[in-house]
Amino acid sequence: QVQLQESGPGLVKPSETLSLTCTVSGGSIRNYYWSWIRQPPGKGLEWIGYIFDSGSTNYNPSLKSRVTISVETSKNQFSLKLSSVSAADTAVYYCARTPYSTSSHDYWGQGTLVTVSS
């Protein structure tokens, strides 16, 4: 059974960079897209972007200037960096697996709350 687990600081100061890692277990990171999705408290889901195991990426245009998603296949991990954060970036951040064949998000991490505050 594939499992995903997000990790990283739960508190980030304004203007700094948010960094999260997703560790994949129970399956290989190869031959899939891997996505980041976030959900501000009490609000809906927002698609952040995805990466293929080759390193090709696609980002939400509204976040593209601040987002970097990378993959480390040897560790079965992929990561999210979001720069110049503000309070509007406070959210639960989810990582998810995205099969190329369906482009859906079939396995999700439990999510991690990141609060942007000084």
Q: Residues interacting with another protein, by CB under 8 A?
A: 35, 37, 44-47, 49-50, 58-61, 94, 102-106, 108-111
Work out how close the CB of 68 gets to another protein at its nearest, in angstroms, rounded to a whole number: 15
User: Cα separations (Å) of 71 from 13, 42, 105?
Assistant: 25, 30, 17
Longest dimension (CA), the chain: 43
Pick 44 or 118: Cβ nearer another protein: 44
- Whole-number minimum distance, CB 5 to another protein, in Å? 11
- Minimum distance between the CB of residue 74 and another protein, rounded to whole angstroms? 26
d(CA 113, CA 6): 10
Cβ-based nearer residue to another protein, 83 or 108: 108
User: 16 or 63, CB closer to another protein?
Assistant: 63
Closer residue to another protein in complex, CB, 16/108: 108
Distance of closest approach, residue 118 Cβ to another protein, in angstroms: 27
Q: Reduced to 3 states, what is the DSSP secondary structure of residue 88?
A: helix
